[in-house]
Structure 1
Amino acid sequence: MPDSMSTKLIVLVVEDEALLRMNAIDMIEDAGFEAVEASNADDAIAILESRHDIRVVFTDIQIPGSMDGLKLARAISGRWPPIKIIATSGRINVCATDLPDGGRFLAKPYTSGQVTTLLAEITA
């Protein structure tokens, strides 16, 4: 059983639609993780540059700004290789070769159970 002093793994949620972002954060926190949020790739990069405790980035593929979620995933993989990537979309189907090594795709709409299982798998 985890010690009550143990720190939760931190997930950065990148989603431009506020309701979807809040829903994803609720699912991630319910799964026992801490969530940090960004509404676009530029904000996500700024957060990653200022924090060294983020372990997973959970990003929508279709986000506004200088890069989409796939470009963001590749940028993160290049600069912060230990960070795991989960990409999600309701419009685009992504295959494993579209994501950096170890990156995972989750189609929208996703369930809390799918989010919990995927986070457990990639952080094990």
Structure 2
Amino acid sequence: MSKGRILLVEDETCIRELLAEALSEADHEVLEASDGEEAMAMLDGPDGFDLLLTDVHFPGRFDGLDVARCARLRKPGIPVVFATGRPDTVAAFGVLGPRELCLAKPFSLREALGAVSHLLEARPA
């Protein structure tokens, strides 16, 4: 049985594949999207997600913040792990909510798994 169903949104293929593999090995069910448009379409699926792990910046019409807002319209309170390689973005987040974490790239797989576990363990029953 899966620990959690995760929507992983990352435009860099090698990062997405590494994260997906690590999350799968940690017994999570992972669905992958390479951009905001693909992620938005997946949010409309019937099964939903327990957590969103998204890059903040990627090409296309929607960025990671748009995806997170849309996910929360469908499932208020869904935990979100934001990932970004832009230090100015991390500073702009300011104080994150209790169901949000921000990982600054480069981050280790251990850090990513820890962030996911922390937020999933803190979710309401």
How many Å apart are 1:105 and its aligned residue?
A: 0.4
Count of residue pairs brought into register by the alignment:
118
Query: Within 1, Cα distance between the matches of 2:32 and 2:111?
Result: 20
Equivalent residue number for residue 102 of structure 1: 99
* RMSD, matched Cα: 1.9
Q: TM-score, normalised by structure 1?
A: 0.83
Query: Within 1, Cα distance between the matches of 2:63 and 2:98?
Result: 18
Equivalent residue number for residue 3 of structure 1: none
Q: TM-score, normalised by structure 2?
A: 0.82
1:50-76 deviation per Cα after TM superposition (whole angstroms, max 9, x unaligned): 132411111001112222112221222
Equivalent residue number for residue 46 of structure 2: 51
8 Å contact from structure 2 (residues 2, 27) kept in 1:
no
Of 40-49 and 77-86, deviating more is 77-86
Query: Within 2, Cα distance between the matches of 1:64 and 1:51?
Result: 26
When residues 113 and 80 of structure 1 are mapped into structure 2, their CA distance, relative to the original with a 3 A threshold, is same
SS of the residue 2:60 aligns to: coil
How many Å apart are 1:37 and its aligned residue?
A: 0.3
Segments ≥4 residues shifted beyond 3 Å: none
Query: Within 2, Cα distance between the matches of 1:82 and 1:49?
Result: 17
Task: For 1:2-21, list aligned pairs within 5 A.
Answer: 6-21=1-16
How many Å apart are 1:100 and its aligned residue?
A: 5.9
Query: Within 2, Cα distance between the matches of 1:77 and 1:100?
Result: 13
SS of the residue 2:90 aligns to: coil
How many Å apart are 1:42 and its aligned residue?
A: 1.4
Q: State, as a whole percentage, how many aligned pairs show the same letter.
A: 29
Equivalent residue number for residue 19 of structure 2: 24
* 2:67 matches 1:72: yes
